Amino acid sequence: MPKTILICSDNEKFRDALKGLLANYFPLIIVESLNSCLETIRKSTNIQLIYIELETIVDEAETALSQIKAAAPSMTIITVGRQHEDDAAAGTVRYGATGYILEPLRAEEVLALARKNCS
């Protein structure tokens, strides 16, 4: 059975887009805030990958990512940013993200990362 993917975003359209790409292939947990994300990570042992929208944590990226890494050191964290956030998205790798992708989301890229980390 594939590992679970956690989607963290306060943007409903973003959550729905990722859900539409991933729901047929992977178990998903979807949360709307950083606090819910951290609470979910602490309670669940089957999460392997987080897609977290940069906009959700933009003001606290360093703290947020270090808290996630402390709660689940082996978890893969992919931040997702908009084209104009390229530098900020790339910078999240310094704070603990495994990698980043930019919107608009490309199905092949999202699925490839999920398959690599959760199958």
Instruction: Write out pLDDT tens, residues 10-61.
Output: 999 999 999 999 999 999 999 999 999 999 999 988 999 999 998 878 778 8
pLDDT computed for residue 39 by the predictor: 95
Task: Give the C-alpha separation, 37 to 64, whole Å.
Answer: 10
Bridge partners for 49 per DSSP: 5, 76
CATH class of the domain comprising 4-118:
alpha beta
Spell out the SS3 assignment of 93-119.
HHHCCCEEEECCCCHHHHHHHHHHHHC
Q: Return the domain boundaries, the chain.
A: 4-118
Band of residue 87 on the pLDDT scale cut at 50, 70, 90 = confident
Helix axes 12-22, 107-118, angle to 10 degrees: 70
| Cis before 27 (ω within 30) | no
Q: What are phi and psi of 44, to 5 degrees?
A: -105, 140
The pLDDT > 90 percentage for the chain reads 67
Mean pLDDT of the chain: 91
Q: What is the pTM of this model?
A: 0.92
Report whether pLDDT(85) > 90. no
